[in-house]
Amino acid sequence: FYTQPLCTPTRAALMTGRYPLRYGLQVGVIPSGGRYGLATDEFILPQVLKEAGYATRMVGKWHLGHADRAMWPRQRGFDYFYGSLVGEIDHFKHQTAHGDPDWFRDNEAVEEEGYDTELFGADAVKQIESHDPASPMFLYLAFTAPHTPYQAPQAYLDRFPDIADENRRAYAGMVSAMDDQIGNVVAALEAKGIREDTLIVFHSDNGGTRSKMFAGEGAVDGDLPPRNDPLREGKGSLYEGGTRVVALANWPGHVPAGEATGVMHVVDILPTLAGLTGADFAKAKTLDGMDVWQVIETGQASPRQDMVYNVDPAAGAIRDGKWKMVWTATLPPMVELFDLDADPSEANDLSAANPEKVAELQERVIELARVLAGPWAGQMLADLGADVIKVENPEGGDDTRAWGPPFVEAPDGENLSAAYYHSTNRNKRSIAVDLKTPEGQETVRRLRATADVVIENFKRGGLISNRLDLLSELDLVYRKSFGLRVSAAAWYDAVYNRGNQNQTTSANNTPRNEFSPETRKLMGRKAEFLDAFVFGRFELGDKPATVRLGRHSLLWGESLFFGANDIQNDQEKGGIGVSRARTPAGPFVDYLGKPLIDRFH
């Protein structure tokens, strides 16, 4: 059973049945100062069940948005809510790491004394006792335990006198307290006479914390208690230790004792519960989840053969059957391939022996990462002084406006948009255009007619489906790159792979993986660059030349460039070259010391 690597993304996946990368919640968690949350246009699990006639009640930790009341549980389909809105609180004081109170009943702040795990359990019991069994109920009980800070009542600490480490002793006490409260909930179901009519699903929201980077907003002294052995790493990681978690389902007379080994993901819970209850989720956006009830009930093979762990600007991971690929784009960049059937600990990287499988999985990650590449490429041109016009969706704008924290705020504290968006779109202008309308398509055509460079990050065929086949314009060099690797040729490398080599196509279509010695000397240690491909036509003297270029170079944002010597060498071999983007003469041109072909379309 798999979740996302962190708590906010997992809770979002549970509620929506969709991977968080679909709506910008796949990176990090919502901090106590965050002013964003799960988009309110997502039709989520309590809303689905409510329309099917269920009473919907939530007790515990929300962590899907707290700055705007529209994001709170009562406004998102729950009839009742009791608990905390942020991700981490003092378990006795019910305050955030910054000392702000975070304890609510419905939409009102309340002050209560007690250990939160015990309060949650007691309130869940009350909800069961007061419920009319003539109608069904969905109870979402989300304990804060055993999240940091590591705190437990003395009575629970006293249960573990042989544990010397203070953090581990508190952790054991927290888990023990949670166990007791789950027992109280089950006892309440039995006392109510509805135990045999109740399906209980229990799971963690991520792997155990092994890095203090993911321990929470409050400092943790000493060692972290959780262990995920034999799984690799833990919370915050795309390896199995961060995403493969404990889970159980219990329903007397329906779920047999034993172990189900088929692959399941937290996004599967919504469609599975909808299938059991007959609920209609047509109002929900397209789901990534699938109904896996047959795996739980009868042990049949899982219908889920593939799974996306996550894709963000730094890394991506995907599973297909027994194969799992982890693709790290940050330094040092690497691609790893594991056979999870034989090697669940991910100790043996098989990528070198299985290049075709790696290529297949990379291709799928690329389609999910497409939104990442365009802003980065346009950012470099804008920094050079180009007039970059960004086309955005009129309904909410670019997806990255929601990719926080941190966020840019108005003077009154209102959340405006993500700092990430402003960083990758600095020095640009934006225009809102609906590409599905003839008017919007004509607007883009007019912009294209005056553009030197066009960058787009549609899925394949997206431009054509919107009647904007820019490749038909042969006076235009068409530059296309994807978030984690190029996909326009049979040979490839990571788009965010940084290194001091260049890859071009020579006359016999063989990749050439180095700069000429002259250009390398000029570049020195500034040879880090972003990969990309260029397709199209431009004039070399009086001869048209087809451009097919790998690994456009970025001199730390100074320019997209190829040295004149590289162009000359390629021409002599019957190959190709490319010019720089049109930029004002300045230090870069002086630094390079050689003239470049002066126009780039």
Of residues 63, 91, 147, 265, which has the active-site annotation?
63
Residue recorded with tokens 């390629």: 570
- Cα 227 from Cα 386, distance rounded (Å): 51
- Cα 262 from Cα 414, distance rounded (Å): 45
Helix (H, G, I), strand (E, B) or coil at 352: coil
- Cα 14 from Cα 205, distance rounded (Å): 9
Residue recorded with tokens 């070399």: 540
Residue recorded with tokens 């008017």: 439
Encoding tokens for residue 117?
Answer: 């795990």
- Cα 24 from Cα 19, distance rounded (Å): 9
- The candidate with the shortest Cα–Cα distance to 531, out of 418, 362, 398, is 362
User: For the chain, how many residues are written?
Assistant: 601
- Cα 90 from Cα 509, distance rounded (Å): 62
CA distances (Å), origin 216, targets 30, 71, 96, 153: 11, 22, 11, 21
Q: Are strands 334-339 and 407-409 parallel, antiparallel or unpaired?
A: unpaired
9 upstream amide cis, omega within 30 of 0:
no
- Cα 29 from Cα 8, distance rounded (Å): 5
559 close to 587: Cβ distance less than 8 angstroms: no
Q: Look up 254 and say whether it is catalytic.
A: no
- Cα 257 from Cα 250, distance rounded (Å): 8
182 close to 234: Cβ distance less than 8 angstroms: no
103 close to 109: Cβ distance less than 8 angstroms: yes
Residue 285: how many other CB atoms lie within 10 Å: 15
Of residues 7, 147, 265, 552, which has the active-site annotation?
7
198-212 burial, b at 16+ Cβ within 10 Å, e below that, comes to bbbeebbbbbbbbee
Backbone phi, psi, residue 455, to 5°: -120, 130
Helix (H, G, I), strand (E, B) or coil at 193: coil
What are the helix (H) ranges across 459-545? 462-465, 517-523
Q: Are strands 407-409 and 415-418 parallel, antiparallel or unpaired?
A: antiparallel
Residue 334 CA, chain-centre distance (Å), reads 19
Q: Look up 63 and say whether it is catalytic.
A: yes
Residue 446: how many other CB atoms lie within 10 Å: 10
59 close to 120: Cβ distance less than 8 angstroms: yes
Residue 578 CA, chain-centre distance (Å), reads 35
Residue 361: how many other CB atoms lie within 10 Å: 25
- Cα 601 from Cα 599, distance rounded (Å): 6
Which are the catalytic amino acids? 7, 63
